Amino acid sequence: MSHTTTIAIVDDDQAIREALDDLVQSCGYDSVLFASAEEYLAYDKREAIDCMLVDVKMPGLSGIELQAVLNKEQHKPPMIFMTSYRDDRTRAAAMDGGAFAFLGKPVDINKLLGFLESALRPVN
């Protein structure tokens, strides 16, 4: 039985979650939506997540704080960060923490899809 590729979308903005959900599904991937980092951490099927699209600034835990929690776990899917706050410190923190990519909002869809495809490519 083949594994369906599943993308986690973690963003406190419902319109952005829904737009990313439509985009991800139009590419043939499954998606699971979370309104907060805490909601994602409470999800009991996190080992099925293949890649994450994560907002940086959210109420409660930020995307960077979520990354720090996940970095201590066995299963660490690639994280693509998206933010309206494009300061260099935040970008450096995300990349130093192992982020796959860091995109400004509004997100360039072609760039996002390129990063998503690269993040999901099997490592030989």
Name which of 97, 2, 11, 108 is nearest 52 in CA terms. 11
Q: Average per-residue pLDDT in the chain?
A: 93
**Mean pLDDT confidence for 56-62:** 95
Question: Residues 93, 68, 80, 124: is their CA dihedral positive or negative?
Answer: positive
pLDDT score of 86: 72
- Residue 48: phi and psi, rounded to 5, are -90, -5
- Taking the C-alpha atoms of residue 81 and residue 68, their distance in angstroms, rounded to an integer, is 13
- Residue 1 pLDDT > 80, yes or no? no
Does this model's pTM top 0.85?
A: yes
Name which of 41, 93, 101 is nearest 72 in CA terms. 41
We find that the CATH architecture of domain 6-120 is 3-Layer(aba) Sandwich (3.40)
List pLDDT tens digits, range 81-123.
999 877 889 999 999 999 999 999 889 999 999 999 999 987 6
Residue ranges per domain, the chain? 6-120
- Taking the C-alpha atoms of residue 46 and residue 32, their distance in angstroms, rounded to an integer, is 10
Q: Looking at the chain, list the stretches that DSSP marks H as alpha helix, in order from N- to C-terminal side.
A: 14-26, 37-42, 63-70, 88-96, 109-120
As a 3-state breakdown, the chain gives helix, strand, coil percent values, each rounded to 5, of 40, 20, 40
For 49, the enclosing helix (H) or strand (E) is none
